[in-house]
Structure 1
Amino acid sequence: MAVLEAILSPEWSSRYHSFDAGWGLGEEMAAMRDGSGDEYSIVFSAAGAYVRGFAHEAVMSPYGDDGSWPGVLDSVPEVFRHCVEEPAFCDEDGMPVVTACLWREVGDGRWRVGEIDYPDGVSDPDGAAGLFGRLVDPSPEAFRRFAEDYYEVPVDLDAVRHVYALRPLTQAVVTAPNADLAAKDLADALAAARYPFVAS
């Protein structure tokens, strides 16, 4: 998704999804920012994966009670505690900006969350369904629907399938969704994602 969006939106600041293979020492990060206040960060490391989501209108917002919802962060294991306190995931006062959190340590058979007393009668109280919908349906067709709606341009499905198959990027694949873009202009985004490119 990050590579496709680099093609559709060469300006990093206006992209919805991004990926940084050099996020931290031994860490990679996938991120989403929707431009309206919702975001997520997924940190991959030798320890496993840590996921933090923030839906700004969710009932479980930390700004409703000046702190994260009880249970959301309490059980995060020690190997991921630095992610909880990561300044990029906190506000200017050091409060974690989070409504949903899950993690999976290496060797875990499933994803884990804290022991949370979710509010009654509220649909999607932590915003997770809305935040992670594209991750639950990781198909090229789902991405094309999203991208055509978000960027308001036609998106070539074959180009999306090419990137989803992790095949090396070519100028022809770049040109299919963005005729005005030269593949060489994607050098920084491709390096950040460690995505292969074949010069033509």
Structure 2
Amino acid sequence: MPGITDGLPNRFTRYVTEPEFQFADGAPAMTLCVWYRAGESGWQAGRAVDGGARTSAVDGSARLFDALLDWNAGALGAAFRVHSEPDQGAVQAIMDGAPISRAVVQKLNPDADFSIVEREMAIIGRR
């Protein structure tokens, strides 16, 4: 996949060639690709490519990373506001590393099954 995955180490290519990460025509279903390898000086990225009709921008990285660079609930909430209006206190608590309690999850999604959240947190080592 030229462009977006240029320079991607071979050990990572299997992740971007899986059907879950591709459009029906086999094109990569991503706006950018970044990776980090131990021993390198920092994060690496492929070059931006024009997504044509699939996207209105050449590269969505600015929109995706702005919320991470401006690490606060307001910025992150703005990135996801298209889907819902998140409780900024709950988002900020999680961003600050507070334990993810049933009450916090309920503020973010009253319909969430907390037992599923607990299992997922166990998998990623989060409390």
Q: TM-score, normalised by structure 2?
A: 0.66
Quote how far apart the aligned CAs of 1:87 are.
Answer: 1.7
Secondary structure of the residue aligned to 2:36 is: strand
- Preserved contact between residue 84 and residue 96 of structure 1 (Cα < 8 Å): yes
Ranked by relative contact order (alpha carbons within 8 Å, sequence separation 6 or more), the top structure is 1
Report the Cα distance in structure 1 between the residues aligned to 2:5 and 2:75, rounded to whole angstroms.
Answer: 31
Report the Cα distance in structure 1 between the residues aligned to 2:48 and 2:80, rounded to whole angstroms.
Answer: 35
Structure 1, gaps ≥5 residues long: 1-67
Correspondence 1:11-160 to 2 at 5 A: 70-114=2-46, 116=47, 125-146=58-79, 150-152=83-85, 155-157=87-89, 159-160=90-91
Quote how far apart the aligned CAs of 1:143 are.
Answer: 2.8
Quote how far apart the aligned CAs of 1:112 are.
Answer: 1.2
Report the Cα distance in structure 2 between the residues aligned to 1:190 and 1:148, rounded to whole angstroms.
Answer: 25
Residues 94, 165 of structure 1: alpha-carbon distance in 2 compared, 3 angstrom cutoff: same
Quote how far apart the aligned CAs of 1:188 are.
Answer: 0.8
Residues 103, 117 of structure 1: alpha-carbon distance in 2 compared, 3 angstrom cutoff: closer
More helix by share: 2
More strand by share: 1
- Number of the residue aligned with 2:115: 187
Report the Cα distance in structure 1 between the residues aligned to 2:80 and 2:60, rounded to whole angstroms.
Answer: 21
Structure 2, gaps ≥5 residues long: 51-55
Provide the identity percentage. Answer: 30
Residues 109, 187 of structure 1: alpha-carbon distance in 2 compared, 3 angstrom cutoff: same
Report the Cα distance in structure 2 between the residues aligned to 1:124 and 1:130, rounded to whole angstroms.
Answer: 10
- How many residues end up aligned between the 2 structures? 119
Q: TM-score, normalised by structure 1?
A: 0.46
Residues 108, 189 of structure 1: alpha-carbon distance in 2 compared, 3 angstrom cutoff: same
Residues 193, 143 of structure 1: alpha-carbon distance in 2 compared, 3 angstrom cutoff: same
Report the Cα distance in structure 1 between the residues aligned to 2:48 and 2:94, rounded to whole angstroms.
Answer: 40
